[in-house]
Amino acid sequence: MKFMDVQTEKGIISMSKIVMGTDYFGVNIPEDTAFALLDKYIALGGNTIDTARVYGKAPAPDPDEAYANSEPIVGRWLTSRGCRDKIFLVTKGAHPSMKDMNCRRLDRASIDSDVAMSLHELNTDYIDLYFLHRDDPSRPVEEIIDTLDAHVKGGRLRAIGASNWTVSRINEANAYAKAHGKTPFTASQIHWCAAQVPQGFWDDPSIQVMSPEAYQGYMENQIPVMAFSSQARGYFSKLLAGEALPVKRMNRYDIPENRRRLESIRSLCEETKAPASALMLAYVTSSQPVQGAAIIGCSQLRQLEETMSYADLTLTESQRAKMRRE
């Protein structure tokens, strides 16, 4: 297993570069299966679990009132296994209203409420890395950092991160934090994969994707990045296997440039003797100088075992460039 360092209030902590995602716990993945997946993930060398206040929500007439299953399941697992001190626990809060993504929730009261609820549901008194799930560019960074810093100083959060924030907003927040002795953002979480993914690719325009410009920004600020959808939702793997993809996924990823990258990935699969799914993860976890961790979302033990069997796969920068056809 490869690891990367994250600066926290308690010093440097190493998190595994393959991160166990829990988005569908309690919805598509029942609790007993979730427990088995978490057990296997830890047994295979992982130490980082990623969840969020809004993960695991079942369909409901009012999506804001729907019960979020993911954090409670992770919390019950942590308690039953007695392993909280061995886990690098990541969660996210302050997501906009599920009914209206323009209804932002980065005010102090919303952040405070979500932090308290996450601590309760996860049955823990601290969170190792707490992300704000979205930005609100209209809200001053000073207010946001002050709110989060109070939770760090209070021992409830060990480190803070920005999910789906632009590099420029992260830098603005961290400049304020540095100037005023506050806690800075020490991690980012965005969509990052070997496919060509333009900004605006998602139905939700607030989602940030890794671009050459963003990568340069992370090189300069030296903030590590956690990648969601790092396997391009199976686009390359399924096409190479001759399997059909859902229409919506095809419409998103199936552009001429990604068809050309498909051939480069096919060649690299033959060269490395590794499946495309493993190459996609290694594309992120092998990144230099920007450090990257890939969040995985397995629903079956065999999927998890195959994924973790390639956790140490490392690509050279020339191989990573080949995947991008550079």
pLDDT tens, residue order, the chain (326 aa): 999 999 999 899 999 999 999 999 999 999 999 999 999 999 999 999 999 999 998 777 777 777 889 999 999 999 999 999 999 999 999 988 777 777 788 999 999 999 999 999 999 999 999 999 999 999 999 999 999 999 999 999 999 999 999 999 999 999 999 999 999 999 999 999 999 987 677 878 899 999 999 999 999 999 999 999 999 988 999 999 998 888 877 778 888 999 999 999 999 999 999 999 999 999 999 999 999 999 999 999 999 999 999 999 999 999 999 999 87
Q: What pLDDT is recorded for position 326?
A: 73
Q: Which amino acid is at 192?
A: W
Query: CA-CA distance, 64 to 61, in Å (whole number)?
Result: 9
This prediction has a pTM of: 0.94
How do the domains of the chain map onto residue ranges?
Answer: 3-323
Nearest alpha carbon to residue 280 among 214, 234, 224, 222: 234
Phi, psi of 106 (to 5 degrees): -105, 15
8/151 Cα distance (integer angstroms): 13
Nearest to 144 by CA among 130, 124, 158: 130
Q: What pLDDT, on the 0 to 100 scale, is given for residue 245? A: 82
Q: Which amino acid is at 149?
A: D
Architecture label for domain 3-323: Alpha-Beta Barrel (3.20)
* Contact call for residues 42 and 72 (beta carbons, < 8 A): no
Helix, strand, coil tally for the chain in percent (to 5): 45, 15, 40
Q: What are phi and psi of 301, to 5 degrees?
A: -60, -40
Q: Tell me what pLDDT residue 199 has.
A: 67
